[in-house]
């Protein structure tokens, strides 16, 4: 495969990926009141072995080759590496943008009810996830051999506790209720939950390193990175806003020089957090969260969001879908297990948050809205699951079950929210 052939194939892959994402996205939003993200999750699964590979195995294997043989040795096909790299680049940019949009001010003033909801949204799904993992821990079909019961419990707990924070924020923003009491509490609870779940995952990844030195580097390095960014980095990053408002380097177009510099910092943070063994997405998110929220960060979002979400992120969904093999879940027993996982996810997260919201004084309807939104796993779940698969914590079979859970919980969210929200509006005008 020459470089020329690889590029040729990539153009075709991107054409197919974008066409399918767009088509499913159109059907999903038009007829089922779905969000773009769930449509793309499904598009990814459809392009993988679960549908495309079932219907036209040769075409699928030609368009998305997994392995290549060179001199008698089987290696990852370079085309797959290229998709992986593009997906990671997209994720890093995306998580950086999510961080830029994350405003710690959300939490202030609503700390009590947000704390109760987010606490319930972590403790209950975590406990249920850990329980499931503990029961199944010896099963080599689900967890990679070598993963301790403790590691399995932590990973399942963390991945059950995830909230699709960016999606939640987008739904609230689209309905223009970000600044209502309901919006603020949900945003605060969602962001706390995600932050905690990511920290837990960092601990899992770190503790899974067989070498204690590597685990030390991951935990110590991660804490050092976080502290450095919050204590020192935030001050330095204010320089971007200051320099931007002074007009930047005179000979440049507005913002170009600073944007390049910021991308350099982003790549450095991504490299560092990848290198120490936590993940580039953490580094990117923390950098974004530590950036001052001003004109420059708004410009960066404005200028990088569309290429990231429309061109690069679909590659991640498809890469994830290529690893999802619904065909592996092929017995009644395995489907029952999948159903148990889905129910535990909904019961653990959705119901627990609903009850916590009710206890903290929301109406039943608002509590239901909070539960519904917190329950959606979205893209965040796929990120965690892909890390688990890449780091060889879980098997393709458990990966597939968990992706099913992520799709189902995300599918539920938007129509349920719209139903509840319309009723609420109807009540308000009655």
List CB contacts of 184: < 8 A, sequence separation 6 or more. 106, 109, 110, 114, 178
DSSP string, 86-98: HHHHHHHHHHHHH
Q: Looking at 15-23, 57-65, 194-202, 339-347, which segment touches a second copy (CB under 8 A)?
A: 15-23
Q: In this structure, are residues 394 and 373 in contact, taking their beta carbons and an 8 Å threshold? A: no
CA distance 35 to 395: 29
Which of 84, 150, 228, 421 contacts a second copy by CB under 8 A? Answer: 84
* Nearest distance from C-beta of residue 129 to a second copy, angstroms: 25
Q: Looking at 30-38, 57-65, 100-108, 364-372, which segment touches a second copy (CB under 8 A)?
A: 30-38
Range 227-256, binding a second copy (CB under 8 A): 249-252, 255-256
Query: What are the angstrom distances between the C-alpha of 212 and each of 20, 221, 287?
Result: 45, 13, 27
Q: In this structure, are residues 322 and 66 in contact, taking their beta carbons and an 8 Å threshold? A: yes
Residue nearer to a second copy on the CB measure, 241 or 274: 274
SS3 of 2, please? coil
Residue nearer to a second copy on the CB measure, 309 or 360: 309
* Nearest distance from C-beta of residue 348 to a second copy, angstroms: 29
| Residue 366 in the binding site for a second copy (CB under 8 A) | no
Range 92-121, binding a second copy (CB under 8 A): 92-93
CA distance 303 to 297: 10
* Nearest distance from C-beta of residue 144 to a second copy, angstroms: 15
The binding track of 284-313 with respect to a second copy, each residue x by CB under 8 A or -, is ------------------xxxxxxxxxx--
* Nearest distance from C-beta of residue 73 to a second copy, angstroms: 4
Q: Write out the E strands in 208-277.
A: none
| Residue 66 in the binding site for a second copy (CB under 8 A) | no
Range 376-405, binding a second copy (CB under 8 A): 390
Burial class of 51 by CB neighbour count within 10 A (0 to 12, 13 to 18, 19+): middle
Q: In 33-180, which residue ranges form alpha helices assigned H by DSSP? A: 36-47, 52-55, 57-63, 78-101, 111-136, 149-160, 165-174
* Cα 246–chain centre separation: 36
Q: Looking at 46-54, 77-85, 142-150, 336-344, which segment touches a second copy (CB under 8 A)?
A: 77-85
Residue nearer to a second copy on the CB measure, 75 or 227: 75
Beta bridge partners of 67: 76
Q: In this structure, are residues 276 and 225 in contact, taking their beta carbons and an 8 Å threshold? A: yes
* Nearest distance from C-beta of residue 1 to a second copy, angstroms: 8
* Nearest distance from C-beta of residue 113 to a second copy, angstroms: 30
Print burial letters for 79-110: b (CB count within 10 Å at least 16), e (below 16). Answer: bbebbbebbbbbbbbbbbbbbbbbeeebbeeb
Quote the tokens at residue 201. 């995952």
Q: In this structure, are residues 348 and 160 in contact, taking their beta carbons and an 8 Å threshold? A: yes
* Nearest distance from C-beta of residue 84 to a second copy, angstroms: 4
Range 152-181, binding a second copy (CB under 8 A): none
* Nearest distance from C-beta of residue 274 to a second copy, angstroms: 5
Q: In this structure, are residues 101 and 28 in contact, taking their beta carbons and an 8 Å threshold? A: no
**Binding footprint of a second copy, residue count (CB under 8 A):** 69
Binding site for a second copy (CB under 8 A): 2-4, 6-8, 10-12, 14-15, 18-19, 21-22, 25-26, 29-30, 33, 36, 70-73, 75-76, 78, 80-82, 84-86, 88-89, 92-93, 249-252, 255-257, 259-261, 263-264, 267-268, 270-271, 274-275, 280, 302-311, 314, 390
């Amino acid at each position: 495969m020459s470089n020329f052939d690889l590029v040729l194939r990539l153009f075709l892959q991107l054409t197919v990926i974008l066409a399918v994402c767009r088509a499913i996205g159109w059907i999903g939003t038009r007829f089922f009141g779905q969000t773009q993200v769930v449509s793309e999750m499904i598009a990814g699964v459809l392009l993988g072995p679960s549908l495309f590979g079932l219907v036209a195995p040769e075409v699928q294997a030609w368009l998305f080759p997994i392995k290549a043989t060179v001199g008698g040795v089987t290696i990852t096909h370079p085309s797959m590496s290229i998709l992986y790299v593009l997906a990671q680049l997209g994720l890093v940019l995306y998580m950086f943008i999510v961080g830029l949009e994350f405003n710690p001010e959300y939490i202030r003033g609503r700390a009590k009810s947000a704390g109760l909801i987010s606490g319930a949204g972590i403790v209950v799904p975590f406990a249920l996830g850990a329980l499931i993992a503990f029961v199944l821990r010896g099963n080599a079909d689900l967890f990679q051999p070598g993963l301790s019961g403790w590691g399995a419990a932590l990973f399942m707990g963390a991945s059950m506790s995830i909230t699709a924070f960016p999606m939640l924020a987008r739904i609230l923003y689209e309905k223009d209720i970000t600044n209502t009491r309901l919006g603020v509490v949900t945003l605060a609870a969602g962001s706390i939950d995600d932050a905690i779940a990511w920290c837990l995952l960092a601990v899992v990844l770190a503790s899974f390193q067989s070498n204690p030195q590597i685990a030390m580097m991951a935990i110590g390095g991660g804490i050092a990175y976080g502290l450095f960014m919050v204590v020192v980095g935030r001050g330095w990053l204010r320089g971007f806003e200051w320099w931007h408002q002074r007009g930047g380097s005179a000979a440049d177009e507005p913002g170009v020089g600073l944007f390049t510099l910021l991308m350099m910092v982003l790549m450095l943070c991504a490299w560092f957090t990848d290198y120490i063994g936590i993940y580039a997405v953490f580094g990117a998110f923390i950098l974004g969260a530590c950036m001052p929220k001003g004109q420059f960060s708004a410009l960066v979002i404005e200028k990088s969001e569309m290429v990231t979400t429309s061109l690069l992120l679909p590659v991640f969904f498809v890469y994830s879908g290529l690893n999802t093999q619904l065909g592996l879940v092929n017995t009644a027993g395995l489907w029952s297990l999948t159903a148990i996982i889905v129910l535990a996810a909904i019961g653990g997260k959705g119901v627990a948050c609903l009850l916590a919201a009710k206890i903290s004084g929301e109406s039943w309807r608002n509590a239901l809205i909070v539960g519904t939104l917190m329950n959606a796993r979205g893209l965040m779940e796929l990120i965690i699951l892909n890390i688990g698969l890449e780091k060889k914590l879980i098997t393709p079979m458990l990966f597939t079950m968990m992706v099913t859970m992520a799709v189902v919980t995300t599918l539920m969210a938007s129509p349920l929210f719209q139903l509840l929200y319309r009723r609420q509006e109807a009540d308000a005008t009655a």
